[in-house]
Amino acid sequence: MLPEPSAPREDRYEAPEVVVARLPQYVRILSRLQQEGAQVVSSQQLGEKLQVTPAQIRKDLSYFGRFGKQGRGYSVTHLLGRLKQILGLNSYWNVAVVGVGRLGRAILSYPGFSPDGFRLVAAFDENPEVVGQEVAGLEVLPMIRLNQEVRERNIAIAIVAVPTDHTQQVVDRLVECGVRAMLNYAPITPQVTESVKIRNIDPVLSLQSMTYYLTDGFEG
Amino acid sequence: MLPEPSAPREDRYEAPEVVVARLPQYVRILSRLQQEGAQVVSSQQLGEKLQVTPAQIRKDLSYFGRFGKQGRGYSVTHLLGRLKQILGLNSYWNVAVVGVGRLGRAILSYPGFSPDGFRLVAAFDENPEVVGQEVAGLEVLPMIRLNQEVRERNIAIAIVAVPTDHTQQVVDRLVECGVRAMLNYAPITPQVTESVKIRNIDPVLSLQSMTYYLTDGFEG
DNA sequence: GGATGTGAAGTATTTCACAGCC
DNA sequence: GGCTGTGAAATACTTCACATCC
């Protein structure tokens, strides 16, 4: 009899992607509660802050373990620590920004990444006029240095901010260099193998998904 | 005989939100196909470009009508037109940007909104040093002008790019002025009444939802 | 008393599969 | 023959409700 094919088996793979996507929100709220000095929080209280049901929070957490105390709730510090551990947010992730145009510069200057565990450690551009410039404390490197830098600086994540018609090739290039997670700002959905994760930041799609609800009928 | 109470009745309210959120992607692909001169497209072909199943596309479209021809597929131009009509994208939407800091400036300079039906027609800031400056061809206005401008310029959508701790109050203010759709760039989820739509752009949450998959186990 | 953790129930969403039409 | 449109089936996700424990 043939062995089973290599199906998902470990517990951690059982958590639906939609659940994993909510965990960072829990982390954010818990961080704030911790700063405010809160010791304990219930699923009820978390749910109010996040506008989700307490049952959903308890169910989400139950995919990963039992973190609460019956009758009490969750220790803010303990739950925060465990969630960070589960998400891999206990240490910093080194991130490369590819594409140093207007958008890339805004991303490099954005102060919101490093407080949350992401260090922008390298910037790349293919334009020779941009290469060598210093942007937000980083020297812009040529694309040819990508492979080397990814390895030397242990870069696991890239933020892709290149023109739309270059995006797929840049993504392919990053995958070749071993980058397995990317944040893409171009208005396309790059194709990657299943083992690579991509999230797209696409404000136009977000806007267009709201106009439906602003429109009273079918007439344009 | 009394009229029906004002319960949801029209067909358009039956479409799940998740379906509405996919329509803009269909619009985008169809626009590209149209530019390339394609006449007809099948759900199979659309599915390949979008990485979704053909059945899902057909089912999604079926919430809004019957746009295809059996044995042939969909007329690119016709389907594109109908989807734009359904989403309210046949004419321009006037958009205000609130908050003209680094991020607000990047948004005002981003050329990707107007080709897709959104005109940035006003910019607001509360900082007196910023008010009066010209950014991307717009004079930055003081917040006190918000109400007036929203009415005069028929602004239905706002992009909110103010500091996190000002965001909720700015959102409230916009709701008071009659703005019913917003794109928020601060890392919080503003609370609004059900009739107001908000989408959040939050790259940090996106990054944090990927690190889970980069982490081999529970150890940090 | 109060809150968790979780099977079971209930919804929502996706996919199947095929009749019907071009 | 090919492809849509759609009920039905399958799957995924959320909520309920309560045994269990602090």
Question: By percentage, how much of chain B surpasses pLDDT 90?
Answer: 90
- What is the per-residue pLDDT for A12? 52
Residue type, A104: G
Query: Which nucleotide does the CA of A22 lie closest to, via C1'?
Result: D13
Contact B211 A89 (CB under 8 A): yes
In A, which residues are within 8 Å of B189 by CB distance? 25, 50-51
In B, which residues are within 8 Å of A102 by CB distance? 106, 109-110
The arithmetic mean of pLDDT across residues B165-180, rounded, is: 98
Eight-class DSSP state of A12: G
Of the two residues B175 and B7, the one the predictor is more confident about is B175
Predicted confidence (pLDDT) per residue in B122-147, tens digit:
999 999 999 999 999 999 999 999 99
Contact B211 A87 (CB under 8 A): yes
- Round to a whole number and report the distance in Å from the CA of B174 to the C1' of C13: 34
Contact status of B210 with chain A (Cβ, < 8 Å): yes
- Round to a whole number and report the distance in Å from the CA of A51 to the C1' of C7: 25
In order, the DSSP letters of B51-116 are: TS-HHHHHHHHHTT---EETTTEEEHHHHHHHHHHHHT-SS-EEEEEE--SHHHHHHHH-TTSGGG
Contact status of A12 with chain B (Cβ, < 8 Å): yes
Name the minimum distance, in Å, from the CA of A36 to any CA of chain B: 15
The domains located in chain A, with CATH, are 17-87 (1.10.10.10), 93-205 (3.40.50.720)
Of A81-85, B10-14, B194-198, the least confident: B10-14
Contact status of B204 with chain A (Cβ, < 8 Å): yes
Of the two residues B83 and B2, the one the predictor is more confident about is B83
Residues by CB within 7 A of strand C: list them: A 42-44, 54-55, 58-59, 61-62, 66-74; B 16-19, 52-53, 55-56, 58-59, 69-72
Does the C-beta of B69 come within 7 A of strand D?
yes
Contact A209 B106 (CB under 8 A): no
Q: Are B180 and B150 in contact (CB under 8 A)?
A: no
C-alpha–C-alpha distance, residues B75 and B2, integer Å: 43
Nucleotides of C under 7 A from a protein CB: 1-7, 12-17, 19-22
Nucleotides of D under 7 A from a protein CB: 1-7, 12-17, 20-22
Asked whether the predicted pLDDT for residue B219 surpasses 50, the reply is no
- For strand D, which residues in window 25-54 of chain B come within 7 Å by CB? 42-44, 54
Query: Which nucleotide does the CA of B61 lie closest to, via C1'?
Result: D5
Contact status of B72 with chain A (Cβ, < 8 Å): no
Asked whether the predicted pLDDT for residue B4 surpasses 80, the reply is no
- Round to a whole number and report the distance in Å from the CA of B59 to the C1' of C14: 9
The arithmetic mean of pLDDT across residues B15-33, rounded, is: 97
Asked whether the predicted pLDDT for residue B108 surpasses 90, the reply is yes
Q: Is B201 helix (H, G, I), strand (E, B) or coil?
A: coil
pLDDT by 10s per residue, chain A, length 220: 333 333 343 445 589 999 999 999 999 999 999 999 999 999 999 999 999 999 999 999 999 999 999 999 999 999 999 999 999 999 999 999 999 999 999 999 999 999 999 999 999 999 999 999 999 999 999 999 999 999 999 999 999 999 999 999 999 999 999 999 999 999 999 999 989 999 999 999 999 999 999 987 544 4
Q: Are A29 and A79 in contact (CB under 8 A)?
A: no
- What is the per-residue pLDDT for A7? 39
Q: Quick one: three-class SS letters along A113-159?
A: CHHHCEEEEEEEECCCCCCCCEECCEEEEEHHHHHHHHHHCCEEEEE
Contact B206 A183 (CB under 8 A): yes
- Record the tokens describing residue A185, joined without a space: 């700002």
